[in-house]
Structure 1
Amino acid sequence: MGTDQVAGPFVVTGQRARQMRVVPAEVLKRLYTRSDAKGFIQTGAHLALLVLGGWLVLATRGTWWVVPALLLQAVFVNTLFGAMHESVHYGSFKTRRFADILAFFSGAAILNNAGFYRHYHMAHHRYTQDPLRDPELITSGTPRSWSNYLFRISSIPFVMIRVRDIFLFPFGFKGDVDYIHQSAWPEVRRWGRLLLAFYAVLIAGSILLQTTAVLWVWFFPLLVGLPLLRLYLLCEHTLCPNSDDGFANTRTTLSNPMVRFLMWNLPYHAEHHLLPNIPFHHLPEAHQHLRPHLKFVARGYIQVQGEILRSLGRSAA
């Protein structure tokens, strides 16, 4: 359990159904439409960036230019979180099999069992900002001091939890996980075994071919970029109230077009939480309908991090 839970009781407003009707029904029907073409274009573009970033890393090994190349590839690798997230919602493609394939490989790239993440994330949606039932708060809490903040950003807690997922779940061990339904565990185990087999193939192939390319193209950039992803994710709900108020318990951060592209429009996060069945390519339009009602809309992630940093230690005063 996270050492720093969000302070304060959970407030039930009962307004969720009314809030979801803010977008007209005829508009919502169109916004719910998924697209294989949009998914392939988005996936192909991100894959092209990964290939480019990997080539730059390999081409600059042995020089100082490898440092910016690794940083660039770190961004490309860690933003695969957006692809995994959209895919567990089945919003990346109209064809669910395509979404499952993308969920598996994008999840594997960031040390996630996407089968487990699907159920973890659905519980997060169901109990957003409820300190006793939201898995994000149960496992991580909210940083209330500099030490908690830095430990969170270090990604050490993330790596520890992912090691559990990778090595325990395939064999039926659940650890301390009690926030997903028992019926979900067969799927979690199945995806966990596939994930472990995939990593084994990567390691065996690298040994047989006597190459460190996988380390340079994927693993090193992954480690370099983990803190960046933690900083990003921390902005989604931190400092939002413990409430079922969909207009207030989640933050939208507008950022810039490149961030929105790499993260599959996930920065439109309040819109996504309120209407999670809207696929990524329709979230900008959903934002136009919902923005007047949203309590937390930030211009960028630096702004939000500044607010978080200024809040550290305040609750303990």
Structure 2
Amino acid sequence: MESSLRLNGGAQVAPRQAATRPSTVRSSDDHAMLRKAAEVSRDINTPRAGIYWTDLIASAGIGYAALYLAATHSHTGWAIVAGVVAVLALYRAISFIHELTHIRSSRLPGFHIGWNLLVGIPMLTPSFMYEDVHSLHHARTRYGTVEDPEYLPLALMKPWTLPTFVLVSALAPIGFLIRYAILSPLSLVFPALRKQVVERYSALSINPQFKRRPPEGDFRRWWNRLETACAIWAITLVGLVVTGVLPLRAFLVMLAVVSGVAVINQVRTLVAHLWENEGEAMSVTAQYLDSVNVPPPALLPMLWAPVGLRYHALHHLLPGLPYHSLGEAHRRLSAALEPESPYHKSSHSGLPVLARRLIVSSLRGGQ
């Protein structure tokens, strides 16, 4: 996922600040890089259903099993270990929502509904909250502008924005419960509320200025089915807790695990881009240079940037490439392009270096 795991319109970070230094990311396109990227990926752009299904089922299965152990184990130490495993596994499972937005359902039959049944509905993050939203982030004229739901110039904003940005995500499970257990049914009765729910509380985005358009046609029917299922599950979950069928401790552990997933994703979001654009349209190459790859030999990105998210910059060059092909595409491009190619400039060694860069930029440019 490229966006924050929180409801648009919830607690918000500061509005965009005027930059105190010129942007360094706008540039013309490097056509040699773009041509080579298309060339080396032609034979690896088909999603392999076996990989997708095996990865998803294993991640969700491990995640839910670990969640059960964390919620029921009497030994605090083992419960904590199980909770950490649950966070990492379910984070990987939920990250497939990013793949759903780029790969047509006809190329992976059944995967969209399968992901929603296994992950989207149980975790109250149905795919409609990302579908028709994330695509705007990849639009040539929208990336990095006020019309991009997934962009804020964090490097140019007030320094306190960064910790606030992360801490807000910890409230995600409460926000999801309110969204589906309360706002969904109420919005059926009050049209004005429904308009607000659709515009402000139905997108996984980080831009507080973003307002979502009402769904239409087949997508509206898909949205309504998923929202109904999520509302029923959310109301049932609250009812189970209130009646004591689901112990309060188990419920709190569930909230903590989902909160952990949201926080990890928010931290990853912080280092997915350099966040240095001031709102102007950018070339594809400039978008690439404002994005981040964290390739091997780094190992930890497998945990905090799973399902291909460690190749985020490459993904902006080849948004339709399946996650399991990004590593091979990166190896081919790294070998084929000259050392002076801009392609190499978006590779970084790890999260600490990227986080430090963002903090320093914020301290310099957002005061």
Superposed pair shares fold, TM > 0.5 = yes
> 1:2-48 CA distances to partner (integer Å, 9 max, x unpaired)?
524374679875638764322253x4332211111111221132134
Change (3 A) 1:163 1:129: farther
In the aligned structure 1, how far is the partner of 2:113 from the partner of 2:324?
A: 18
Instruction: Say if 2:154 is the partner of 1:130.
Output: no
Partner of 2:229: 194
| Contact 1:240/1:249 (8 A) holds in 2 | yes
Partner of 1:256: 299
Instruction: Say if 2:327 is the partner of 1:316.
Output: no
Counterpart selection for 2:345 from 278, 288, 295: 295
In the aligned structure 1, how far is the partner of 2:123 from the partner of 2:137?
A: 19
Instruction: Say if 2:154 is the partner of 1:142.
Output: yes
User: SS where residue 232 of structure 1 aligns?
Assistant: helix
In the aligned structure 2, how far is the partner of 1:294 from the partner of 1:42?
A: 29
Counterpart selection for 2:327 from 276, 284, 287: 284
Change (3 A) 1:152 1:288: same
Instruction: Say if 2:119 is the partner of 1:69.
Output: no
> 1:223-258 CA distances to partner (integer Å, 9 max, x unpaired)?
234322211111111345463324312111234267
In the aligned structure 1, how far is the partner of 2:176 from the partner of 2:56?
A: 24
Change (3 A) 1:316 1:268: closer
TM-score, with length taken from structure 2: 0.71
Change (3 A) 1:168 1:48: closer
Partner of 2:100: 87
180-189 or 303-312, larger mean C-alpha shift: 180-189
Amino acid at match of 2:325: H
| Contact 1:253/1:297 (8 A) holds in 2 | yes
Change (3 A) 1:312 1:24: closer
Counterpart selection for 1:113 from 100, 121, 126: 126
Counterpart selection for 2:37 from 17, 20, 23: 23
Instruction: Say if 2:313 is the partner of 1:270.
Output: yes
Change (3 A) 1:110 1:45: same
Amino acid at match of 2:246: T
| Contact 1:84/1:104 (8 A) holds in 2 | no
Instruction: Say if 2:257 is the partner of 1:221.
Output: yes
Partner of 2:207: none
Amino acid at match of 1:248: L
TM-score, with length taken from structure 1: 0.80
**Higher helix fraction (1 or 2):** 1
Amino acid at match of 2:149: P
Amino acid at match of 2:42: K
What runs of 5+ residues in structure 1 fail to find an aligned partner? none
Amino acid at match of 1:249: D
User: SS where residue 216 of structure 2 aligns?
Assistant: helix
Change (3 A) 1:157 1:70: closer
- Alignment length (residue pairs): 314
| Contact 2:126/2:227 (8 A) holds in 1 | yes
Change (3 A) 1:60 1:165: closer
Larger RCO: Structure 1 or Structure 2 (Cα < 8 Å, ≥ 6 residues apart)? 2
How far off is 1:198 after superposition?
2.8
In the aligned structure 2, how far is the partner of 1:99 from the partner of 1:12?
A: 36
How far off is 1:310 after superposition?
2.1
> 1:99-157 CA distances to partner (integer Å, 9 max, x unpaired)?
332146433455423112111111111156423211113xx652633321111110259
Partner of 2:203: none
Question: Percent identity at matched positions?
Answer: 16
| Contact 1:54/1:73 (8 A) holds in 2 | yes
